[in-house]
Chain A
Amino acid sequence: MDAILLQILNGLDKGSAYALIALGLTLIFGTLGVVNFAHGALFMIGAFCAVTVQRILNLSFETVDPTKTDFLGNPLKVQSPYVVDWFGADFGNAIIDWSVPIAILFAIPIMIFVGFAMERGLIKHFYKRPHADQILVTFGLAIVMQEIVKYFYGANPIPTGAPAAFRGSFDFGVLLGFDPNAVIYPYWRLIYFGFASVIIGGVFSFLQFTTFGMVVRAGMADRETVGLLGIDIDKRFTFMFGLAAAVAGLAGVMYAPINSPNYHMGMDFLVLSFVVVVVGGMGSLPGAVAAGFLLGILESFASMNEIKSLIPGIDQIIIYVVAIIILLTRPRGLMGRKGVMEE
């Protein structure tokens, strides 16, 4: 029982990342009709926003300590962060420690800008082109973004820790009557799940309860008619692209303490997120979220030793097996809309 609970928790945090990326992908596909293969790269750029803020907060001035030597035997150059110098050791170090939450504020405008720039600068020229062209150009863009990040940050993962207050684990075992330490789960992964829930709830509320959201939903259902009413739907869709980029970016920022960011992390999530979108139903926002969590939990269960001993290698193919079964039984996915990508 404790093992099952642990894998459900694992699935929820893994599913959170899938759901956030798939939500952005679906927003872009539902509004602009573009299959955006650069979406994983936006997740990666979000994670590197956390790395960048960490580096900015660690910007240091150099002093020479004549009593110590470096690896070549020269007097040791000691780096002292400006933040610590300006605000004192306690407050300065606390600011550095909280670099990931601070990066959220930094990432929102950056990601919206990146989203706008991508859409206005490149993707809008491909609206009327076949989906294959859109996939090729966005995939190429993803590779360019990866290489730019690798040029500046290197290929090695960069550790980006959560604030000290959120390191360690929460003991669910004690709460549920199990032995102590039987069901423990890292605080930051729980926060990630909570954060994802808030973002998903926020996006749905925005679309459901605001006039802007209502127009966007109308445009997703029938773009032409909304245009005939004199509404500049393109402008709103561009905004949605920026919003989708921000969602992916925030997912990346918060993911940085879970796995040290590296330039390739977006690609690792991209393919799975596309499967999530297809399983959820192309263009369906609730479908993307539901499929994200479903596949995340199934993937975690498939990694259990008991399951792997029955079907070796199932952990590597479970998502695709489930995708095949769902598409055979429900060709439009879990919550797919009629007519989307069916022409």
Chain B
Amino acid sequence: MSKMDVTRRGVLKTGAVAGGGLLLPTYLRAASHEGFTNAPTGDTVTLGFNVPQTGPYADEGADELRAFELAVEHLNGGGDGGMLQTFSSKALQGNGILGKKVQFVTGDTQTKSDAARASAKSMIEKDGAIMISGGSSSGVAVAVQGLCQEAGVIFMAGLTHSNDTTGKDKKANGFRHMFNAYMSAAALAPVLSKLYGNDRRAYHLTADYTWGWTQQESIQAATEALGWQTVNNVLTPLAATDFSSYIAPVLNSGADVLVLNHYGGNMINSLTAAVQFGLREKQVNGKNFEIVVPLYSELMAKGAGSNIKGIVGSQNWDWKLENQMGAAYAGTNAFVKSFGEKFGFPPSQAAQTCYAQTILYADAVARAGSFNPCAVVEALEGFEFDGLGNGKTLYRKDDHQCFKDVLVVRGAENPANEYELVEIVEVTPTEQVTYAPDHPMFAGGALGTCNPGA
């Protein structure tokens, strides 16, 4: 019989170590034998789709979820295959990912950073999600991207347009397919010059948060490079609903262009107020007063109604792209067909970017032959592809930002139906919206190294 020396100090030490182990987040313990977080062990793999299901962007979130559902269906070999038929990489076989059937869980970001982090954390820890995607706000994207980096899972960003997402807040585990504020400005500037000339005085109203600041900085720099002057930049609270007191000072400011660096409900309300105050009929400095909305979406155009007519902005993608601009944008029609037949209306740009991100993740895993996040990062870095609706695209290694053509659009004057509220003015080629990885607007952060988690 052996003698056990049980001391009070020993019990305390053992208890502390065991307790500490139990307190570790699940993702630091799960599947550690595989060497990375939430390594799939059975015949399924779980993806986490974190979208706004409540709150002001719930409609965009619903469209993102539809796209995710469709992408999963196509990955598992269902439906007509959508953009898998046109995608330049042929690594995916329609049998899930690496033979594992894809299933998904969803979370509600509520368009709040803390709620988005909580739901992403829950999907990683409780549901075993190996990749997180979705979202309709840059604040949310930056927060969730940071969490995924810590947790050791891949984050495939949804709708996020702030320069910071792949600028000062970029992370090795995060990837953005959507374009950004700099690209919007670079694409818009030549068109604005062509439409409104180079002698203009611009007044900016800017949503007071990360996206608004970078959007304003980008469009101001691009328009000043044309010769435009910036009369004023007024920051407006994100919670503002009635913009009349911000619009009224524009009337006598000497400005002849109003730039609305607003998105969603903010943009709908500020544009409505601008139209109510007669800005669109106004003549200043001998020119027609113009309004510019740098970032557009179909849902915003719907909310703004007839006020959007003739207003110029930019988009990541549009469902009419392939029909109007040709086969270079292959994949668009295949996606619109799949989506339209399943849901009864054309997809939004939010849906397209989320669908593409899911396919790109799955393809990277298939090409890497592993779910290990570091293998996925390696497969996505510098990856050039085509056939996902945006034309030739590069996932740049330096910042994990996609570089592709950008659409300049305008509110249709006489929409033929409720789905054609936006018309494509021009497609700006990739070279014109490309910037150096160390561009000052993107400075301040480091990509770091990939984190596989466990």
Which residues in A have some Cβ–Cβ distance to B below 8 Å?
Answer: 2-3, 6-7, 10-11, 13-14, 68, 70-72, 76, 150, 154-159, 161, 167-169, 181-182, 184-186, 188-189, 258-260, 262, 264-265, 268, 299-300, 303-305, 308, 315-316
Contact = CB atoms under 8 A, between A and B. Distances in A.
Contacts of A268: 239, 241
B252 A156 contact: no
Given A7-B248, A260-B272, A315-B237, A159 B305 contact: yes
Contacts of B305: 159, 161, 260
Interface in B226-253: 232, 234, 237, 239, 241-242, 244-246, 248-249, 251-252
A265 B241 contact: yes
Nearest to A269: B241
A258 B248 contact: no
Interface residues of B, number: 45
A159 B282 contact: no
A184 B281 CA distance: 12
A151 to B, nearest CB: 10
B248 A6 contact: yes
A181 B303 contact: no
Given A70-B417, A157-B265, A315-B237, 11 more contacts: A2-B252, A14-B244, A72-B336, A154-B58, A157-B303, A159-B272, A169-B276, A259-B241, A259-B242, A264-B55, A305-B234
B299 interface: yes
B132 interface: no
B303 A169 contact: no
B111 to A, nearest CB: 10
B319 A14 contact: no
B306 A159 contact: yes
Contacts, number: 113
Given A76-B417, A268-B241, A305 B276 contact: no
Nearest to A308: B234
A155 B58 contact: yes
Contacts of A168: 278, 281
Contact of A14 (B237, B242, B251, B340): B242
A159 B307 contact: yes
Pick the most buried of B54, B244, B269: most chain A CB atoms within 10 A of its CB: B244
Nearest to B55: A155
A158 B304 CA distance: 8
Q: Closest 8 A-B residue pairs measured CB to CB?
A: A159-B305, A155-B58, A303-B245, A186-B276, A157-B303, A169-B278, A6-B248, A300-B245
Given A3-B252, A6-B251, A189 B276 contact: yes
A155 B57 contact: yes
B341 interface: yes
Given A182-B252, A186-B277, A159 B304 contact: yes
B56 A264 contact: yes
B245 A156 contact: no
Contact of A71 (B57, B246, B281, B346): B346
Contacts of A3: 248-249, 252
A209 B401 CA distance: 70
Nearest to B308: A159
Interface in B292-351: 299, 302-307, 319, 336-337, 340-341, 345-346
Given A169-B277, A260-B268, A71 B341 contact: no
A219 to B, nearest CB: 36
Interface in B61-117: none
Nearest to B249: A305
Contacts of B306: 159, 161
B401 to A, nearest CB: 28
B419 interface: yes
Nearest to B300: A156
Nearest to B244: A10
A40 to B, nearest CB: 12
Contacts of B282: 181
Nearest to A14: B242
A14 B336 CA distance: 43
B59 A156 contact: yes
19 contacts: A3-B249, A3-B252, A6-B249, A7-B245, A14-B244, A71-B419, A155-B57, A156-B303, A159-B303, A168-B281, A169-B276, A188-B276, A258-B276, A259-B269, A260-B305, A262-B56, A264-B55, A300-B245, A315-B245
Pick the most buried of A70, A76, A168, A303: most chain B CB atoms within 10 A of its CB: A303
Contact of B251 (A158, A159, A184): A184
Contacts of A260: 268-269, 272, 303-305
B337 A262 contact: no
B340 A71 contact: yes
Contacts of B244: 10, 13-14, 189, 300
Contacts of A186: 276-278
A264 B277 CA distance: 24
A181 B272 CA distance: 18
A98 to B, nearest CB: 16
A75 to B, nearest CB: 13
B242 A258 contact: yes
A303 B234 CA distance: 9
Contacts of A304: 245, 249
Contacts of B237: 315-316
A283 B353 CA distance: 53
A222 B199 CA distance: 69
Nearest to B269: A259
Contacts of A150: 54, 58
B226 to A, nearest CB: 24
Contacts of A13: 244
B137 to A, nearest CB: 14
A292 to B, nearest CB: 14
B303 A71 contact: no
Contacts of B245: 7, 10-11, 14, 299-300, 303-304, 315
Contact of B248 (A10, A154, A157, A264): A10
Interface in B368-396: none
A181 B269 contact: no
Contacts of B302: 156
Contacts of A72: 336-337, 340-341
A190 B241 CA distance: 18
A155 B268 contact: no
A188 B277 CA distance: 10
B297 to A, nearest CB: 10
A72 B307 CA distance: 27
A217 B148 CA distance: 61
